[in-house]
């Protein structure tokens, strides 16, 4: 997906999320906004210089390495998004324990959140993932392999997709990022470690059923 598309989507998702924050949580806003956009933009740049879309890097963009099955790629994509969300929530918990926003590195929260945003948004980009529309759902049916030859087509289609944020697919991508952020914050508010883990696990399961449902054509391997 083009940088332009990621930036517009991340900004919109964060703006929607921050709008709904209760007053006593407004203090976390600076830990989300600018840096998330920055990080989600940088993911493409990092991957280009760090071995450009290497096999292990496909999950960062919700794509598939040539030697992976669709199910493997799907699981790797989910694991990457989930891990980054848990990391962001863990950092938020440390921020509360820290007791002050002074000297707290926003990158520990916004960084992983930005990586998760990037992969989530890519999962809605037609050249990365095919989703079929069923009612208001967009179900994942195919995860594409990225090859060098694809890059021209890839770029062109993403520019089209990103020009208009009002398509149902792009609106769903924005909602996914907004709800993901909400989930990170809600889980982080659990005081005890077991409470936090239980809450996170339950929220993540719900999130997957809403935004990352799959009906991949080939049997699971
Ligand atoms: Zn990407």
CA of 201 to the centre of ligand 1 (A): 26
The residues, ordered by sequence, that sit 6+ positions from 199 with a Cβ below 8 Å of its Cβ are 186, 187, 190
**How many structural domains are present in the chain?**
1
Query: In the beta sheet, which residues pair with residue 139?
Result: 132
In a domain, 216, yes or no: no
CA of 85 to the centre of ligand 1 (A): 17
Residues in the 5 Å CB sphere of ion ligand 1: 61, 122
Residue by residue, pLDDT tens for the chain (221 residues) are 555 688 889 989 999 999 999 999 999 998 887 667 677 767 776 666 555 456 667 888 899 988 889 999 999 999 999 999 999 999 999 999 988 888 888 888 988 999 999 999 999 999 899 999 999 999 999 999 876 445 544 444 443 445 678 899 999 999 999 999 999 999 999 999 999 999 999 999 999 999 999 999 866 65
CA of 1 to the centre of ligand 1 (A): 5
Tokens of 7: 């930036």
In a domain, 219, yes or no: no
CA of 122 to the centre of ligand 1 (A): 6
CA of 110 to the centre of ligand 1 (A): 17
In a domain, 132, yes or no: yes
CA of 158 to the centre of ligand 1 (A): 10
172 lies in which domain range? 3-211
Nearest C-alpha neighbor of 185 from the set 124, 115, 75, 110: 110
CA of 198 to the centre of ligand 1 (A): 30
**Roughly how many angstroms between the first and final C-alpha of the chain, as a whole number?**
28
CA of 69 to the centre of ligand 1 (A): 20
Per the CB < 8 A criterion, the answer to whether 73 and 65 are in contact is yes
- Please tell me the pTM assigned to this model: 0.88
């Amino acid at each position: 997906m083009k940088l332009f598309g990621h930036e517009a989507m991340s900004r919109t998702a964060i703006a929607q999320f921050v709008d709904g924050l209760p007053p006593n949580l407004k203090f976390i806003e600076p830990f989300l906004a600018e840096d998330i956009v920055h990080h989600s933009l940088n993911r493409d740049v990092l991957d280009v210089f760090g071995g450009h879309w290497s096999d292990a890097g496909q999950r960062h963009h919700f794509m598939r390495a040539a030697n992976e099955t669709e199910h493997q790629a799907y699981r790797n994509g989910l694991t990457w998004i989930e891990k980054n969300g848990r990391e962001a929530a863990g950092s938020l918990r440390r921020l509360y324990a820290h007791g002050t926003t002074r000297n707290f590195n926003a990158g520990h929260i916004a960084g992983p959140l930005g990586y998760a945003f990037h992969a989530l948004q890519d999962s809605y980009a037609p050249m990365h993932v095919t989703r079929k529309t069923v009612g208001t759902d967009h179900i994942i049916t195919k995860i594409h392999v990225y090859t060098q030859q694809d890059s021209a087509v890839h770029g062109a289609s993403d520019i089209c997709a990103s020009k208009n944020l009002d398509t149902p697919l792009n609106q769903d991508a924005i909602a996914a990022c907004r709800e993901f952020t909400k989930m990170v914050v809600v889980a982080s508010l659990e005081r005890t470690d077991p409470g936090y883990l239980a809450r996170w696990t339950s929220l993540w399961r719900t999130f997957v059923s809403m935004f990352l449902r799959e009906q991949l054509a080939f049997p699971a391997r």
